[in-house]
């Protein structure tokens, strides 16, 4: 088998066999196939498209490149969740304790944030003492004993994806639904869960800008999960404005803790309850969606979800008193320059403004300031008067605020009339 023949076959629009895809992915991961040939195949695939069977073969080969977590020796239904990324998206900190309190076993490996979107691990790292670098044995033991663990992905998990993604990023081949789906699902399937909820974002702050692309990605990922023996559901949610009010790691932990007491912003609570309810439905713990939502909400109102979250944090060495979270030395109010109804709160620009403050990474090696971030004081369609506070900016220096302010000036738009707003959740695909 020759890589030259595989490249030309895909260039001409033919479907690759599972053996050809495995030859490509395993060979590239092992360093046998050079970057230039892999780049050529990635570009051919981007232009010609990959079929569902090709994508499934990619997933299987990528999983085979490293270790696969076996959770079969843990009693109960093991649940996982994944978000395609957004601004202010701290739902994992809410959803996973809810379903653990409801009786499911939560076994979640997460990543760190890069660019304008945040990462679950960075939020957990904002909690003093909390560590996420557990071994596979420690991870399984914690799931077995307390029913929940959220940790960092091990270096041995799907190494093919890490190498392929770096090349895709450098060769403008990231924007392929098949490659995106294979990247996400290879890691999710390799972690060994029985059921999976996917939060697939669309809008200004999401990777997928429009609903149609988001729907296509969601459908493909659900099909890949099912083909691999995992029950999956995808929730299509809007990222036209940040989720909740807090953007920034310690600020988001505090907001998640508020939702776990059945308070906090309405949109964050609604999406978290929806995702939790879908996992409860997949597990067969409720007969229909309405009762699944009720069961999820009971975990909030009873305090069981917050107790489970604190139990996980304590098990991972963290301080469970969230009043001890890091605080920025400077809080500056960003005020409206005119009156009107908010017609836009550009999630991507809000995320970029938070990035200027140190709340995220522009490069993987960047150090995050866990206290930095932004707290919104208004949501879309709300009335704002001139001089009213639109947001609080949490930072260390006036120079940071000045840099963020330039972006914030373009992030908000106001008009005389109340705008129509899209629903938070557009569809559920199962």
Catalytic residues: 82, 161, 168, 183, 187
Counting Cα atoms < 13 Å in the Cβ hemisphere of 398 gives: 0
Cβ contacts of residue 85 below 8 Å, gap of 6+? 117, 201, 206, 207
Distance from first CA to last CA of the chain, Å, rounded?
38
Distances (CA, A) of 78 to 108, 195, 229, 293: 9, 7, 13, 19
Counting Cα atoms < 13 Å in the Cβ hemisphere of 241 gives: 23
Closest of 272, 271, 295 to residue 283, by C-alpha: 295
> 3-state DSSP call for residue 12?
coil
Cβ contacts of residue 169 below 8 Å, gap of 6+? none
DSSP letter for 114, please.
-
CA distance 287 to 213: 31
Q: How do 105-110 and 148-152 pair as beta strands?
A: parallel
DSSP letter for 153, please.
P
Cβ contacts of residue 234 below 8 Å, gap of 6+? 197, 198, 199, 200, 218, 219, 221, 222, 428, 429, 430
CA distance 380 to 25: 45
112: its two tokens:
């760190």
Chain centre distance of CA 169? 18
Distances (CA, A) of 88 to 97, 226, 408: 18, 29, 15
DSSP letter for 195, please.
E
């Amino acid at each position: 088998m020759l890589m030259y023949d595989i490249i030309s076959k895909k260039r001409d629009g033919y479907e690759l066999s599972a053996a050809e895809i495995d030859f490509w992915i395993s060979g590239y991961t092992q360093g046998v196939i050079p970057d230039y040939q892999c780049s050529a195949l990635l570009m051919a695939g981007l232009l010609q498209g990959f079929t569902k069977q090709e994508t499934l073969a990619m997933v299987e080969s990528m999983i085979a490149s490293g270790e696969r977590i076996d959770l079969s020796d843990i009693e109960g239904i093991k649940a996982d969740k994944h978000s395609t990324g957004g601004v202010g998206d701290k739902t994992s900190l809410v959803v996973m304790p809810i379903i653990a309190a409801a009786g499911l076993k939560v076994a979640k490996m997460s990543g760190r944030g890069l660019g304008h979107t945040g990462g679950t691990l960075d939020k957990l790292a904002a909690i003093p003492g909390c560590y996420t670098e557990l071994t596979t044995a420690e991870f399984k033991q914690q799931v077995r004993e307390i029913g929940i663990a959220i940790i960092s992905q091990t270096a041995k998990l799907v190494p093919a994806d890490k190498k392929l993604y770096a090349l895709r990023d450098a060769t403008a081949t990231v924007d392929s639904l098949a490659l995106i789906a294979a990247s996400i699902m290879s890691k999710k399937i390799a972690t060994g869960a029985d059921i999976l909820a996917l939060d697939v974002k669309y809008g200004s702050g999401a990777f997928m800008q429009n609903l149609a692309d988001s729907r296509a990605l969601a459908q493909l990922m659900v099909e890949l999960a099912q083909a691999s023996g995992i029950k999956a559901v995808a929730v299509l949610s809007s990222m036209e404005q940040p989720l909740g009010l807090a953007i920034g790691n310690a600020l988001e932990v505090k907001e998640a803790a508020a939702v776990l007491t059945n308070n906090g912003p309405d949109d964050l609570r609604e999406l978290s309850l929806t995702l939790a309810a879908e996992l409860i439905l997949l597990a067969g713990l409720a007969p229909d969606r309405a009762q699944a939502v009720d069961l999820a909400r009971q975990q909030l109102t009873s305090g069981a979800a917050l107790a489970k979250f604190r139990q996980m944090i304590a098990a991972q060495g963290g301080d469970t008193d969230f009043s001890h979270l890091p605080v920025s030395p400077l809080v500056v109010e960003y005020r409206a320059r005119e009156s009107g109804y908010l017609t836009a709160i550009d999630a991507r620009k809000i995320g970029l403004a938070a990035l200027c403050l140190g709340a995220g990474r522009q490069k993987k090696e960047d150090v995050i300031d866990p206290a930095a971030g932004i707290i919104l004081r208004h949501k879309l369609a709300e009335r704002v008067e001139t001089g009213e506070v639109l947001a609080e900016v949490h930072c260390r220096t006036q120079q940071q605020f000045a840099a963020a302010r330039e972006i914030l000036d373009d992030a908000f738009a106001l008009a005389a009339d109340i705008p129509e707003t899209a629903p938070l959740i557009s569809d559920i695909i199962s």
